[in-house]
Amino acid sequence: MATIKHISSKNADYAAAEAYLTFEHDEFTMKPTLDEAGRLIPRQDYRLDTLNCGDEDFALSCIRANLRYGKNSKREDIKSHHYIISFDPRDAADNVLTVDQAQALGLAYCKEHFPGHQALVCTHPDGHNHSSNIHVHIVINSLRIAEVERKPYMDRASDTRAGDKHRCTAAAMRYFRSEVMEMCHREGLYQIDLLNGSKNKVTEREYWAKRKGQAKLDKENAALLAEGITPRQTKFETDKDHLRQTIRKALSTAVSFDEFATLLLREGVTVKESRGRLSYLTPDRTKPITARKLGTDFDKAAVLAVFQQNALHRPEKGVVKHNPHAPTQGAGYGRKPVQITPNPDSPQRLVDIAAKRAEGKGIGYERWAKTFNLKQMAKTMNFLSEHGFTSPEEVDAALEAAISGQHAAGEKLKELESRITANKELMHQIGVYRRTKPTHDGLKTAKKPERYREAFHADLTLYEAAVRYFRERGLKKLPATSRLQAENEALISEKNGRYTEYREQKARAAELQKVKSNLAAMLRQERTKEMRRDWER
């Protein structure tokens, strides 16, 4: 999944930003890494571009702009903003995301969302923890050097003016997150919902605490191993990690809030509810940790949902309650429930050895293909057993349901995309209308209307097009852009869920198609063997 984070800087040395992006730095101290001769070590692989800097480099261009507008001269002034878009590590292998493609996406994102700012856009192929997550750095001068079109999150006139500064507000970050989600949906990349929190929320501070703690633990364990002692702990956990595990353990069995609170109290944790929000107090703290800081899995709504699910499965007087949400193979009585989960040992399609032989493949290939087919047959049978299939007809029904689910999710995606696009266009037209309306009003009082119209032809044309757009859609009163943006964020969140569902149904259909094909081939082989046995008799 792609994420976006923001860092503001008061450092007046703009060249330091470029140095960080192009030379190796220690991941913990952020200080430059030097070679044996004390020289900076260039990064091995990166892409770097500048925007709105003319023929000058980023640092000099920013300094000249600051002097021209008399801004960013005080120590406390925010000189630059640093945004980092990190893509899912799986995107490189599964979705063929390259460093060049990520750089192109980063440039487009910067042009669209940070217009009027001098910018550095740099893409690295790897993350701090060497997880192969391609990520893009966007560093912008806080000063805006050109007037820009108003965006939905902007609520001040200064947010668009040249000579004023960029503000990263909560509304702005929500907008940037929604646009990252839209970018990943459009490009077919992995994505999670960035607008409604994460199940396990790990802050930047906790992330680095874990990284540093793990590094320290690894060093201590290496010393123990050198002395022939087996370490007792190999994975470092923060206090929040331990608290999350304690809460999950209590949630695994509790069916009510009272039971949940009792189970936690046995572990020394007190859970409290205030104004509809939960917080958790551990023995070593005086101030509780709110659910918001732990993740959405630990807030009141999620906890109550778990209680309901646990109650459905808890036996009462020897009876196990039916779970109405459990997936089944289809309509009809006597069918076993089927739950298809991602299987790393999923069967591959059998090789048609006769066809390959006809293509000229030799005895060596045939020998390999026979062994490969035997393994895939075993995997196919295991798949059928694990998922409760007892006949080819049940596989066909499950495949048909998966294809139907994929098509339904795809149609819903198209509908959501259409509504999101329509809202964006409406917000754009509202922005154009508001920007050009003063020009149109000036036409009414102009002493020489024809000359005025000629001088302001572009703005008047845009104004008239916007009015025509509203009229065609029957809009007599313009909606607030804040409401449209909030609606779009809700639609994007829903789209993210549908997109995940679409991917799952597509993968499920592909897997079942292989199983169906293999099963048909195995049945043909079995019938051929039976015919031979009958003929030999």
For the segment 58-87, what is each residue's pLDDT rounded down to a tens digit? 999 999 999 999 999 999 999 999 999 999
The residue to which tokens 């320290």 are assigned: 216
Are the CB atoms for 457 and 467 separated by under 8 Å? no
Distances (CA, A) of 380 to 4, 307, 373: 41, 37, 10
| Distance separating alpha carbons of residues 262 and 266, to the nearest angstrom | 6
Q: Which ranges of the chain have pLDDT less than 50? A: 317-342
In a domain, 328, yes or no: no
Q: 353 and 473 in one domain? A: yes
Are the CB atoms for 274 and 223 separated by under 8 Å? no
Which residues 6+ apart lie within 8 Å of 23 measured at CB? 32, 33, 40, 41, 42, 43
Q: 111 and 157 in one domain? A: yes
In a domain, 503, yes or no: yes
In a domain, 372, yes or no: yes
Supply the pTM of this predicted model: 0.72
pLDDT digits (tens, 9 = 90+) for 314-336: 655 444 344 434 333 333 323 33
- In the prediction, which pLDDT does 7 show? 94
- In the prediction, which pLDDT does 324 show? 37
Q: 125 and 51 in one domain? A: yes
| Distance separating alpha carbons of residues 398 and 378, to the nearest angstrom | 20
DSSP β-bridge partners for residue 48: 122
Domain boundary pick from 257, 288, 313 = 313
Q: 10 and 96 in one domain? A: yes
Distances (CA, A) of 126 to 24, 44, 94, 134, 144: 12, 11, 16, 5, 31
Q: 213 and 151 in one domain? A: no
Q: 510 and 439 in one domain? A: yes
Domain count, the chain: 3
Domain boundary pick from 293, 313, 333 = 313
Q: 187 and 212 in one domain? A: no
In a domain, 335, yes or no: no
Domain that holds residue 282: 205-313
In a domain, 330, yes or no: no
| Distance separating alpha carbons of residues 53 and 64, to the nearest angstrom | 10
Q: 213 and 121 in one domain? A: no
In a domain, 331, yes or no: no
Q: 383 and 300 in one domain? A: no
Which of 181, 167, 68, 53 lies closest to 119 in space, CA to CA?
A: 53
Q: 213 and 182 in one domain? A: no
User: What kind and span of H or E run contains 518?
Assistant: helix 481-536
Q: 499 and 403 in one domain? A: yes
Residue 399: count of CB within 10 angstroms of its CB? 18
Contacts for 519-524: CB closer than 8 Å, 24+ residues apart: 519/380, 519/384, 519/392, 519/395, 520/392, 521/350, 521/352, 522/350, 522/377, 522/380, 523/392
Domain at 45, CATH number: 3.30.930.30
- In the prediction, which pLDDT does 328 show? 36
Sheet harboring 270-274: ordered strands across? 270-274, 277-281, 289-290
Domain boundary pick from 313, 331, 362 = 313
Query: With 0-12 CB in 10 A as exposed, 13-18 as middle and 19+ as buried, what is 500?
Result: middle
Helices then strands, each counted (H, E), the chain: 16, 8
In a domain, 338, yes or no: no
The residue to which tokens 């990349």 are assigned: 189
In a domain, 97, yes or no: yes
Q: 148 and 186 in one domain? A: yes
